[in-house]
Amino acid sequence: MEIPMHYFKTFKSILLIILLFLITSCSNNSAMKPEDFKNKEPRLIIEEYLSGNVKAWGVLQNRSGKVTRQFSADLDGTWDGKKLILKEKFDWDDGEIQNREWTITKIDENSYEGTAGDVVGKAIGYSYGPAFKFEYVLLVPVKGRELKITFDDWIFKQDEKVAINRATMTKFGFKVAELTVVFVKN
């Protein structure tokens, strides 16, 4: 019995997709880690930097690098000694206004957990030197549906007032967008 050629081509395609997924899913030991910034200055203590009023401006880029949206944001944080309550208001260039309220709990000197209404489960944060890394899954509205998008979010403190944020957004391990934000503390 001879196997039809289209079955063989389908099998090769599926095998190729699985192989690509495995290659892109493998961890990269040379990837940047929060601990790489342990002894660098200026130290970013996220609950101090985000307490009070912070203004932000950002751009969203699709996976090919094209800027698709821009925004300005107002952040207002309150630290009670254990938890940071951070209220964010985003004004997108297409007229959309988006609000989010984070509750960020300090676990120890370098570890944090965070929750927000559109975050799936808990966000995990790490702080070393001028760097703060936040990992979470966000429900992102797209064409009337909510997609679960994984964020690899890094904030780097530049001085007492300015910090720069870079976030890579992925779905099934593939980059779908990037976000660049500049924060200025009032």
CA end-to-end distance (rounded Å), the chain = 76
26/97 Cα distance (integer angstroms): 37
pLDDT in tens, 128-146: 999 999 999 999 988 899 9
CA 42 to chain CA mean position, Å:
22
Selecting from 3.10.450.50, 2.40.37.10, 2.40.128.20, 3.40.50.1000, what CATH number does the domain 40-185 have?
Answer: 2.40.128.20
DSSP class per residue in 165-186 = EEEEEEETTEEEEEEEEEEEE-
pLDDT in tens, 78-117: 999 999 999 999 999 999 999 999 999 999 999 999 999 9
Buried b (16+ CB within 10 A) or exposed e, 127-140: bbbbbbbbebbbeb
